[in-house]
Amino acid sequence: MSAHTDRRHVLIVHAQPEPSSLTRSMVNTARDTLERAGHEVMESDLYAMGWKAVYDAGDFPDRMNTERLSFVQESGHAYAGGTQPADVAEEQRKLLRADLVILQFPLWWFGMPAIMKGWIDRVWAQGLAYGHKGAGNRHRYGEGGFQGRRAMLSVTTGGPAADYGPRGINGPLDDLLFPITHGVLFYPGMQVLPTHAVHGAGRMDSVGVQTALHAWKARLGHVFDEAPIPYRPQNGGDFDERRHQLLDEIRPGVVGFAAHLRESA
């Protein structure tokens, strides 16, 4: 009985068409490691699925307003009325079944490949990922349609780790990814784990790959026990409730992403 108590559902979304790529090796290692631990793994292989990346009128076969296209309004209408495209509804179903969502991608121009951004654009529907409970911006950042699940970015970069360090030329990786970790994942209520990064993928030899996969396997061994990034929830007492500004007494004088982290206990 206890063997099944800890069985979790994991969704791995990934964006790399080359089967022998490091990205795909990371996916295969994750699937294998998690399944061996007794978890159920779902996959969204966006390239293999031929995922439609572009969010457009085709996403709304049953328009509430056929004169003027408002993505926000039509998204809410389609989600509430069950008229979303089948591929979008299926991804939402997988997300809602998942206890952990892993987004695995190569960092392209300091963000997601377009096909994965298009997965977010289309699947993060109004009424689900935003406009939760029909209450506008009332429930977000720690609350929302994806509350109760964990999420993690797992990225590979071509360049060296130092370039993404605190004083590296690219800027710190965690800050570069804040629009995703905080803005895409925490916004609709997911608890976001620290990003897993493998640098130097451009020049990695087979020993490097094995080392990276070994580290990834080790990391996956405790993803359900790790503390998430301590982002401040909107309704947790750190923000002015109406104006959504950090209260004066919270990290006085600090601006930018650093102020969005709760100090560790």
Q: Which residues bind its own copies (CB under 8 A)?
A: 17-18, 20-21, 47, 51, 53-57, 68-70, 72, 108-115, 117-118, 120-121, 124, 137, 141, 158-159, 162-163, 165-172, 175-176, 178-180, 182-184, 202, 234, 239, 243-246, 254-260
CB of 211 to its own copies, least distance (A): 21
Helix or strand (DSSP H, E) at 208: helix 206-220
CB of 55 to its own copies, least distance (A): 7
Q: Please, which residue, 38 or 236, has the CB nearer to its own copies?
A: 236
Q: Please, which residue, 41 or 174, has the CB nearer to its own copies?
A: 174
Q: Please, which residue, 66 or 226, has the CB nearer to its own copies?
A: 66
Q: Please, which residue, 55 or 79, has the CB nearer to its own copies?
A: 55
Question: What are φ and ψ of residue 224, in 5° steps?
Answer: -90, -5
CB of 131 to its own copies, least distance (A): 10
Q: Please, which residue, 7 or 110, has the CB nearer to its own copies?
A: 110
Separation between Cα atoms, residue 240 and residue 96, nearest integer Å: 30
Contacts of 200 (CB under 8 A, 6+ apart): 157, 158, 159, 160, 161, 208
- Are 14 and 43 in contact by the 8 Å Cβ rule? The answer is yes
- Are 9 and 98 in contact by the 8 Å Cβ rule? The answer is yes
CB of 119 to its own copies, least distance (A): 8
Buried b / exposed e over 199-232, threshold 16 CB at 10 Å, is bbbeebeeeeeeebbeebbebbeebeeeebbebb
CB of 191 to its own copies, least distance (A): 17
- Are 142 and 236 in contact by the 8 Å Cβ rule? The answer is yes
